[in-house]
Structure 1
Amino acid sequence: MSDIIREPRLEATKFFKYQIDKNARCIHEFFKSVSASQWSLSSFVKYIAKLETRLGFEQLFKVFVKSLDQICVLLVVPVCVRAFAQNYLKWLEDTVNVTAQAEAYRAYITAPAVPTKSSTSFSEDQLSEYHTQQTDGTYTGDESDRGTDEDVQERVS
C-alpha cells in the first residue's frame, strides 16, 4: 500500500465558515477572507495566483506555514481550528508527497498565463535573409563577432 497520508481537512462543520479576524497580525489575508473549510496549500496558491502576485513558491510556502503557525497560538481561534492548523503543519512535515505537490504548485505558479512569442523566433523572411547574407559573403553584424580574416574567407568560399 501507499505511505501517503491524506491531506487534513477541518472536521468540525460548526466552523466550516470560520475566518480569521481581519485585525489579526502576521496572518495572510487568505485566512481572513477564505472559509476554514477551504484552507489548503493548493487553495492558497490559487488565491495568490488570482492576485497576480510575483512571489516564488518558496516565499508562498513560507507565508502559508507562518500563517498556520500563528493560527496555532492565537487563543481567540477556536480549538478545533487550531488543531486543524497543527495537523496541517504536521502533515506538511511528515507526508511523502509534499515534494511532488510542491513541484506541481511551483509549476502552476511559474507557468505563463498566456503563451508568449519567444523573442528568438524568426520569420521565414528573416531566416532567408540571414541565410543569403551568410552564403554571399556580406556581413551586417558587429565587427567584434565577425571573426578573423581567415574565418571570413572560409565562410565566403
Structure 2
Amino acid sequence: MYTRNLFPRDLFAELERLQRDMQQAFDLSIRGGARGGFPALNIGSTPKSVEIYAFAPGIDPAAIEVQIEKGVLTIAGERAEETLPEKAMLHIGERFAGRFRRVITLPDDIDPNSATAKYRDGVLHISIARQEAAIPRRIAIQ
C-alpha cells in the first residue's frame, strides 16, 4: 500500500507532483482527444484513405462493433474479466476488463461505404477510402 505524508517536507515538490497528476488525469493530445483510453489507437491518413488501428488483444472479433454514422466512427465492445485460479492472489492488475467505446470524428472527404475492418493478432485495422473527388490528381501541362 502506498501512503503519503500529510505534511510534505518539500512543498514545491508536492505541488509539482500534484500538477503532474492533474496533467495525466486530463491529458489531451494536440488534436484534443483524450489519451490513454482502451483500446489504444493509431490513426493516420494517406492521399487515398484514412487508416485506423485499434490495439485490442484478447477480444473476440464478434464482440467488437464498428459503426460509421454522420462522419463519426465508433468502436465499441467488451472484454471479459479474467478469472484467477483458486487460491491465487492478484498483486497488480493493469489489464482493462469491461465495456469500452472509442469515438473518432472522421474527415469530411471519406466514403463511408468503402470502409473495411480486419482483426488479426489483437489488432483491429479499419481502412476508409477517400471520395474520388477528394483524391489529389496531377494535371499534365501541354
TM-score (norm 2): 0.25
Higher-Rg structure is 1
Which is richer in strand?
2
TM-score, normalised to structure 1's length? 0.23
The structure with the largest helix share of the pair is 1
